[in-house]
Structure 1
């Protein structure tokens, strides 16, 4: 079952160059089994053909207020009320101005008026000067006061080839906002959660380093899942191409030592730690300030052990919930149970990267969860967001159990 199974999403597409990126958003929503209905403005059709969205959504695209083939005058009301969430992506200055001024002169603007702010998310994308224009900013502030949600644009290269603030937010950030809208709760309100994600890199010289194939997807999914449930989340990640939702405190590091320091800085003000990062166990004993030359047929690289971040946390637990991950290729359960005990963990999540659909750089995972009582829960192949939800369910159980003992 997908993350958005039985959820109904209305996606409004306006006439901006970023409209092509909405195709990938629709693809991801459908992958998570959402029902998706597209509505396009006349200008949007100049950038992406309706047929493209019909193919991706498996539904007829809505483009006209009064199409000749349909005679239902209240269609704009029916469809807007049908949706659980309404995402306008991209949202141009024009559509923001219309809605802020109460103008409903086409199908999309009319539907937004019907849906209201509670279920509508705007994803602005436009030229940086246009975005900074006081009129546009005033319209955004007006809509925010009325309860409309926003995924703010990012800094980057724009269609005019200049760099500035106005680029459509990343797919990860938009999906994160949708998850909050559809799945959000206050189950973990007041709980401070620290998540680590991604690989670490141990430099050999200015151009080479030791690392692994971790994409960070599992850790980022866990951070999003905790935030969706109302937790105050801090995410510390090694180098990845991912970015979390805006309500997650985010910090990037490179090396294991940097992650160690960052984790211990946050740890005193944390209730739950989920250590999903694939940290390097070893680092070069000596760092070369200059690129090593290919002068010999072989090279000897001496390594020294990195600090064990999770083990260090387990020695100073003080009632916190600690969750670790273990990547094992042989005797997974045996080694997982050993690490659980040795590091004083509450849960350990074990997976074998050799198993199909599991491990690094995939969108799915196959994991086994082991608790302090040595009880084992083996999950089938699931998307990483689904795995994250299972792990969060177990953490909630531990929190409730701890509260019942007080």
Structure 2
């Protein structure tokens, strides 16, 4: 009987186990190792007047991976889309509409950020195409340096950083152009005459498809379906050892297997690879992570919140939260929730960016109080929570710093030399759920092909 080990029970690992089961059939044994108390990694659904996601809540709707996976698992009816309301940005003490037609907050011209930045910044953006652009083909830099030089610091703080804070729990000063915005880097490599021209060329074409999607009853239903379909032997114990054993591998604590797929965060991958792939281990160890926290609140349904899907917070503003999501306005399926016979609205406050681990030092009551106070600051509305859930995500989001693509290449090329060993995870090809689904599937297929 063939035997394989998947280490890590997040979405990448669960998808990998599911794919292995589909390829190997019912006779093979697939062992799923998870050292935590639950499966799902950074995806979690809890009860708060019904199921609510307190990790990732959406995925990029223009990517096919999640809708196709839902359909494959018989969950096509779970696919939902947002209401169409847009978020605002709170900057300089004022709420502004989220700029349209930008690339992760980078404008192709001044009109995109008119009203969000001052007149001097608009003039700088308008004049940018006439300034010589210095870009090293194949090189990399952090987004803040590039954008501040070409467009000004206000574009960084008020447009780019608020969006990056949600995707990476980071700031543009620590996020590399090549890894975070590969389409932009490709246009710059191809000789774009200006940053404005590169952004315009990298913008996705207009589409009628929804930008985002979600799972009606929460990601928990997807995780449960993957778990059932994978039919893996679950081992809830620390994974403490990996070594070659002839044509196979020894995995402590589960014994000999024909192949191993590591779907764990970068620091754990570094520890596990150190004895068998030292180059890959060193590269993985060089990828840092950011911690974050989500405060989910059920408040009276008549709370007079702004008519938006949420609020993103600019850098340097005097609040602790980095964003608010008005979940019941963003997602139609969350409207009309009841708690003890009372109609409620759901919202989320998000905390934490790279380098700011102090957020995890606050107690749950402190985080809830900060969320309520910050919401009052940015909206003028004081809410009374009827129920709360505080979710902490320590070291959960890998940081795609300048040079990240080189680290990934080193990991993948080193592991490729070892038959029967593969890696997957958010630190490799993207932090979003579709990227993790793709990574888990690709790793499982590579493992079988080799």
Name the TM-score, length of structure 2 as normaliser: 0.23
Name the TM-score, length of structure 1 as normaliser: 0.24
Greater RCO, CA 8 A, separation 6+: 2
